Copies of this chain bind each other. A is one copy, B any other.
């Protein structure tokens, strides 16, 4: 039985870890870390867990936690983990970090986009970017996994095979992404109030969102060169879900059948990536509550572009689900253990 500690267990991503891990046979949460709710019953904050979780929230003392658990999930603000991580801790526990602290290999890029100094750059090299379908082998032996961002997971997986195979020009890539509001977190802010979000849609972080360099770096590895893309996130009046609509120029004449073959080559054996039948487009409702990525595409012969579309649940494959998938890989468990949630519809 894997003993688990969560720092940030009372945010939305933390709560989703709790929901998922509750159904995991070989894992047990022994530390519900929450700075805001120390000594309160976890189930008094997330009442869906009433009678399911009896524990009280503990603080976020990582050194102590490291003594008592096998793996720590950090669902914390940017900079938090980088500020407290030590070699001593890493020698005791594995860490799966849901923040961005170790996602970007070039520390100057991190510091520029996030606007903060990185306090422990010495661990960046070692950290493995936990996009399971692509970096599975590296995750296996990692001590420190940088769990990908929600937008990036969806954006990268949707474009990856075509970039890798040179079928699209990655520098023409435009990612127009739409997210449910749980992606904005549980902080009490006016822009996230019901009446501010409901009955509206908006773009934000235009040409400046922090997930941009993360997508560029990973797609750069795929094509073996520098990649610069346009990325625009939007806020949608729904709880969960990310839809990424991605546009790119084709580098050569291809048929839809050929594209389908390429996607199937990369994802045909993947449990959590569903390449839809040709002509189908993903919708977030079909993946809600599950760890699936649904992918579809359409060639636009008039413009010689392809439109690729991906859909995930931002809290599952975009955060907690992928984190558990990484844990399973790190501990040698079946990758889908505890992750067989069927999408909830309606």
Contacts and interface: CB of A to CB of B under 8 A. Distances in A.
Interface of A: 12, 15, 19, 22-23, 44, 46-52, 174, 176, 178, 180-182, 186, 188-190, 192-204, 206-207, 228-230, 232, 234, 236-241, 243, 245, 247, 274, 276-277, 280-290, 294, 298-300, 302-303, 305, 307, 309, 340, 342-346
Nearest to A45: B190
A293 to B, nearest CB: 12
Contacts of A298: 206-207
Number of copies: 4
A201 B236 contact: yes
B247 A230 contact: yes
Given A194-B181, A206-B307, A199 B239 contact: yes
Nearest to A316: B344
A247 to B, nearest CB: 5
Which 4 pairs across A and B sit closest by C-beta, in order of nearness? A200-B285, A48-B343, A195-B346, A207-B300
Given A194-B192, A199-B199, A286 B50 contact: yes
Contact of A245 (B198, B232, B237, B344): B232
Contacts of A188: 188-190, 193
Residue among A195, A196, A198, A281 with the most chain B CB within 10 A? A195
A128 to B, nearest CB: 27
Contacts of A199: 180, 199, 238-241, 284-285, 288, 346
Nearest to A192: B193
Contacts of A228: 302-303
B47 A283 contact: yes
B203 A243 contact: yes
Contacts of A346: 12, 182, 195-196, 198-199, 239-240
B186 A190 contact: yes
A200 B238 contact: yes
Nearest to A36: B190
B178 A201 contact: yes
A204 B282 CA distance: 10
A170 B331 CA distance: 52
B186 A243 contact: no
A298 B204 CA distance: 11
Contacts of A232: 176, 245, 247, 307
A261 to B, nearest CB: 18
